[in-house]
Amino acid sequence: MDLGLTGRRAAVAAGSAGLGFGSALALANDGAEVVICGRDEAKLKDAVARIGHGTRYVVCDVKDAAGGVEFVEEANRLLGGVDILVCNAAINPHFGSITKVTDEVFDKMMGSNIRSIFWLSNMVLPQMAERKDGAMIIISSIAALRGSNVNGLYGVTKAADAGLGRALAVELARRRARLALVGRDAARLAETARLCTEAGAARVETVAFDLANVEGIEGLVTDIDRRLGETPSLVIHGAGVLLLARVDEYPLAEAQSLMNVNLMAGFALARALVPRLKQKGGTLGFISSGTAYRAVPYQWAYAASKAGIERLAEALRVELAGSPIKVRVVSPGPVGTDMLNKPPAVGSAPMLSRVDTPPSPDSIAPQILAAFAGSRARTDLTMRVRVIRWLSALGAEPFDTILRRRR
């Protein structure tokens, strides 16, 4: 095989075994200069001996930022730069129900399987952009495409808003529901509670809480149970934040916060609620997005979080089959919320521009609630989202061609 890689410089994360080793071997055999990394020096020495071609190694763990920095700095020193980055680092220490995952295991998997990709790309992509040349390869898994009752969290790692939330709350209030409203802004919560009371809610409780605080969600659910006198029969994870930014300009703290709110909070809610709902039954409802199937430029973090939500929901459906708990996902398409109309942007990312007028949260809320109450596991409310999902099934090329023509 001649891929024209002679003289190219490749860095392969987790390259001592499996797909990482196979990738490093293929790159070296085709003429690339290769550096691999891993945690076990003995395995790394054996790997470079088998690969040959002057392949070198770095002992480090890329699950945290320090390890990623060490790998990239050493690769730059040994190779003089990186033309090809292969992100293969991944662990799967938990085999079993996603509701039994401990905080320690969750953090380890998110670090190795998701954050490592972000940190490595953040450090390597700037030099590729400056040269206007380079390739980044991310090793995924079939688990990213279909949920599992034993590998659900692994699938999440491979696939991870006020206006709409308020509209859904008011619509439920019109149906005489008892409501627990959760959000960061106490003043906005109070206004939403007033609207719900006027709409006819049987009871309204407000809890000022930031869902980025994933560790506190178990306590949040306990507090809601106490206030309402029982566990809610419908729980909607509609929280979502969006920041427009290039991958190499995305602040690490902002990326972590977005993932916490959009994805990890959904996991933490499910873990807290499933044991409570197994006897009485109920519905876990998740708001997704068309970006879960195909990301657009500058929205990669949001897209990754929504893809994770899709895989989380699929895993839960498989695990909870036969139980009285329903898991529903709704992709409403663009909705005229503050998040869509005025999303923050950093660096050189352009602001969103729209040629159409998306529906208001109030107009779309009844359809979302009907979908949560229906029999379909997932519902796309617009033809736009359906088309995106269909195109994604054809592979990357058709959709990427459309994006290039629009830019």
Q: Which residue ranges form the domains of the chain, and what is each CATH number? A: 9-139 (3.40.50.720), 158-406 (3.40.50.720)
Torsion of CA 159, 165, 168, 174, to 10 degrees: 160
Cα distances from 168 to residues 139, 219, 235, 236, in angstroms, run: 38, 24, 11, 9
Residue 109 pLDDT: 67
Q: Which of 154, 293, 298, 302 is catalytic?
A: 154
- 113-139 burial, b at 16+ Cβ within 10 Å, e below that, comes to bbbbbbbbbbbbbebbeeeeebebeeb
The rounded distance, in Å, linking the Cα atoms of 281 and 315 is: 18
- Please list the pLDDT of the chain residue by residue as tens digits (407 residues): 566 789 899 999 988 888 788 889 989 998 999 999 998 999 999 999 999 999 999 999 887 778 888 999 999 999 999 999 888 765 565 455 656 667 776 766 666 666 777 778 777 878 877 777 777 777 655 444 444 444 444 444 444 434 667 888 888 888 888 888 888 788 888 888 999 999 998 888 888 888 888 888 899 889 888 888 888 889 888 877 888 888 888 888 888 888 888 899 899 999 999 999 998 899 999 988 888 777 778 888 888 898 899 999 999 999 999 999 999 998 887 776 666 666 677 777 776 655 467 777 788 788 888 888 888 888 887 776 667 666 666 555 554 555 455 44
Residue 279 pLDDT: 86
Stated as kind and residue range, the H or E segment containing 401 is: helix 396-406
Closest CA to 320 of 284, 349, 294, 292: 284
Residues forming a β-bridge with 183: 208
The rounded distance, in Å, linking the Cα atoms of 165 and 182 is: 9
Stated as kind and residue range, the H or E segment containing 203 is: strand 203-208
> Helix or strand or coil: residue 334?
coil
The rounded distance, in Å, linking the Cα atoms of 119 and 158 is: 16
Residue 54 pLDDT: 95
298 catalytic residue (yes or no)? no
Residue 140 pLDDT: 59
Closest CA to 124 of 112, 132, 136: 136
Closest CA to 369 of 195, 204, 233, 184: 233
> Helix or strand or coil: residue 49?
helix
Give me 207's structure tokens. 């809890």
